[in-house]
Amino acid sequence: MARLVVVSNRVGVPDRSTRAGGLEVAIGPTLRRRGGLWFGWSGRVADGDPDPTKIADHDNVTYATIDLRKDDHQEFYNGFANRVLWPILHYRLDLAEFTRRDLGGYFRVNEFFARHLEKLLKPDDTIWVHDYHLIPLAKALRERGHANKIGFFIHIPFPPPEIVTALPNHDQLIPALCHYDLVGFQTEVDATNFSRYIANECGLSWAAGNAFHYGNRVVTIGTFPVGVETEAFSRLARRAIETTFVRDVLDSLSGRAMIIGVDRLDYSKGIPERMSAFERFLANFPDWRGKVTYLQITPRSRTDIAEYADIGRLVGEAVGRINGTYGEASWTPLRYINKAHSRTALAGLYRAARAGLVTPLRDGMNLVAKEFVAAQNPDDPGVLILSRFAGAAHECAAALLVNPYDPEGVAIAINRALAMPLEERRQRHAATYKVLVANDLSHWAERFMAALERPPNAANDWTQVRAAGIG
Ligand code: F6P
């Protein structure tokens, strides 16, 4: 079996206290199982020229990380990746702040990654590149003569071409995805949007199938909804609810029902909108006042970026307003915490909650939703309230699906979740849990790797048409 080389901006080096977020949750166990190399940014910004790649071996995995220079970090990470691509791919054209300088920094860092990665590459390695930071990486590697199998998976949404084409210079960037052998998306909608982009903007026409020719290669487009370690997380939650930490939290609630939300502080997560919905719930369903506590855990994220400071202020104001209006000396309706919590602590809190509020305005998948379901006690499960705009909504169709832009509708769903009869809760939970076991994390990784490593075959249902002009 070929060695697997994973490349992502964040790398989940095991002894590091900071976590890489959803991406680490997905990649870490996959790589540990199969073994291989994980290459990416060290998380450090160097004052002068960066040190050479640092190599560390743990268990089955070699972690190779590299520092970024200050201007590279600014233009690549804070600039193009997170002030342009992130908002646009989350359908937020209004928040994109494009500069050609940042775009230049983005391409420069992808070249820099290719230059340092190639020193570690063997010709028969299979390379799996992750996420929007590294769209042009395969092209940079191909230009250096690497003919390896290279797959790409984007963890965040891919909007319709009508939105993507508002990105200045999209024609320099998006067609670079044609240098991968496999381009994977979270949902059918994302994959279809990309296919439409390829057809509309690159002059390719699609007769049928999910692949096209690019030069002398076949590029396949696939849908691979990322999963969680459903059964292992369920076992973790069963143990975690007994920990002193979770018991203390439960004691502090004095028998009140708990609603939980866990998100990075990010405008895509719809946290202020969710708080307005909770406020509406307290206003419209006064019987619940004093009987329910909403715990929102929100570690800060991308703090150098102005829009993230803005969303932090908005959330803080909403918390103050709600607690000021509805709180009592003996009851705080909304507990808002920026501290990051361990997986064990979160697993226990999910299991202890009567409802999980996961209401992003747009999300590639949302693994909190899946972990919340995995963590429940099947005999007495809490209810997932989930945005229809999260990728997870497709597999979690038995959750209470809501429109996060409709606070009144979300308030009604909160009331419904808290009042839901046991039998309905059990049925909804069992239906979702079954789906999440069938498509768990290992299934996701195996399906992607199998599609990537499958030899291109003439019987493939692909069609190409005109490669000229791509990339
Ligand atoms: O896919 C979303 C993502 O960008 C991942 O790369 C990462 O897990 C998460 O968001 C956290 O973002 P950042 O790496 O910018 O802290």
d(C-alpha 138, C-alpha 177), whole Å: 8
Contact 445, 452 (CB under 8 A): no
Give residue for tokens 């990537």: 452
Does 171 participate in catalysis according to the annotation? Answer: no
Q: What is the pLDDT of residues 268-279, one digit of tens each?
A: 999 999 999 999
Q: In this structure, which amino acid lies at residue 285?
A: F
Q: What is the pLDDT of residues 95-110, one digit of tens each?
A: 999 999 999 999 999 9
Residue 28 in contact with ligand 1 by CB distance below 6 A: no
d(C-alpha 21, C-alpha 11), whole Å: 10
**Average pLDDT value over all residues in the chain:** 93
Give residue for tokens 């996060």: 404
Mutate to test the pocket of ligand 1, among 155, 263, 307 (most ligand atoms within 8 A of CB): 155
pLDDT score of 130 more than 90: yes
Cα of 129 vs centre of ligand 1, distance in Å, is 14
- Of the pLDDT bands very low, low, confident and very high (cuts 50, 70, 90), residue 203 is confident
Residue 155 in contact with ligand 1 by CB distance below 6 A: yes
Residue 159 sits at the vertex; the CA angle it makes with 157 and 162, to the nearest 5 degrees, is 170
Q: What is the pLDDT of residues 351-389, one digit of tens each?
A: 999 999 999 999 999 999 999 999 999 999 999 999 999
Mutate to test the pocket of ligand 1, among 23, 265, 304 (most ligand atoms within 8 A of CB): 23
Residue 131 in contact with ligand 1 by CB distance below 6 A: yes
Residue 433 sits at the vertex; the CA angle it makes with 428 and 435, to the nearest 5 degrees, is 105
Q: Can you point out the beta strands (E) in 3-35?
A: 4-8
For the four alpha carbons of 232, 233, 235 and 240, in that order, the dihedral sign comes to positive
Query: 3-class DSSP state for residue 297?
Result: strand
Cα–Cα distances in Å, from 148 out to 5, 81, 128, 156, 446?
11, 26, 10, 25, 19
* β-pair type (400-402, 383-387): parallel
* Sheet of strand 182-185: strand arrangement: 54-58, 61-69, 36-46, 4-8, 126-130, 149-153, 182-185, 217-223, 211-214
263, 363, 429, 440: the catalytic one is 363
Query: What is the tally of helices (H) and strands (E) in the chain?
Result: 17, 15
Q: What are phi and psi of 391, to 5 degrees?
A: -55, -30
The tokens describing 437, both together, are: 């076991």
For the four alpha carbons of 241, 244, 246 and 252, in that order, the dihedral sign comes to positive
pLDDT score of 20 more than 90: no
Cα of 99 vs centre of ligand 1, distance in Å, is 22
Please give the full DSSP string across 173-242, using - where no structure is assigned.
HGGGGGGSSEEEESSHHHHHHHHHHHHHHS-----SSSEEEETTEEEEEEE------HHHHHHHHHHHTT
Q: Where are the alpha helices (DSSP H) in 212-362?
A: 230-240, 244-252, 271-284, 306-326, 343-352
Residue 301 in contact with ligand 1 by CB distance below 6 A: yes
Q: What are phi and psi of 55, to 5 degrees?
A: -115, 135
- Residue whose Cα lies nearest atom 6 of ligand 1: it is 23
Instruction: Give the nearest ligand 1 atom to 24 CA.
Output: 8
Query: In the chain, what percentage of residues exceed pLDDT 90?
Result: 86
pLDDT of residue 468: 26
pLDDT of residue 466: 29
Q: What is the pLDDT of residues 288-334, one digit of tens each?
A: 999 999 999 999 999 999 999 999 999 999 999 999 999 999 999 99
- Plot region of 360 (φ>0 → left; ψ -120 to 50 → alpha; else → beta): beta
Instruction: Give the nearest ligand 1 atom to 10 CA.
Output: 14
- Of the pLDDT bands very low, low, confident and very high (cuts 50, 70, 90), residue 207 is very low
Instruction: Please give the model's pTM, rounded to 2 decimal places.
Output: 0.94
Query: In the chain, what percentage of residues exceed pLDDT 70?
Result: 94
Over residues 130-141, mean pLDDT = 98
Instruction: Give the nearest ligand 1 atom to 77 CA.
Output: 15
Cα of 11 vs centre of ligand 1, distance in Å, is 10
The tokens describing 377, both together, are: 């006690």
Cα of 86 vs centre of ligand 1, distance in Å, is 10
155, 190, 429, 440: the catalytic one is 155
Does 363 participate in catalysis according to the annotation? Answer: yes
Q: Which residues contact 296 (CB under 8 A, 6 or more apart)?
A: 260, 261, 262, 263, 271, 274, 275, 319, 334, 335, 336, 337
Cα of 21 vs centre of ligand 1, distance in Å, is 6
Q: What is the pLDDT of residues 181-201, one digit of tens each?
A: 999 999 999 999 999 999 889
pLDDT of residue 206: 60
Instruction: Give the nearest ligand 1 atom to 82 CA.
Output: 15
Give residue for tokens 């602590």: 345
Cα–Cα distances in Å, from 115 out to 42, 102, 145?
16, 20, 12
Instruction: Give the nearest ligand 1 atom to 155 CA.
Output: 1
pLDDT of residue 334: 98
d(C-alpha 239, C-alpha 347), whole Å: 9
pLDDT score of 68 more than 90: yes
Cα of 23 vs centre of ligand 1, distance in Å, is 6
Residue 156 in contact with ligand 1 by CB distance below 6 A: yes
CA-nearest of 366, 345, 362 to 263 is 366
d(C-alpha 456, C-alpha 20), whole Å: 33
Residue 23 in contact with ligand 1 by CB distance below 6 A: yes
Domains and CATH numbers, the chain: 4-227+441-464 (3.40.50.2000), 230-438 (3.40.50.2000)
Cα of 20 vs centre of ligand 1, distance in Å, is 6
pLDDT of residue 411: 98
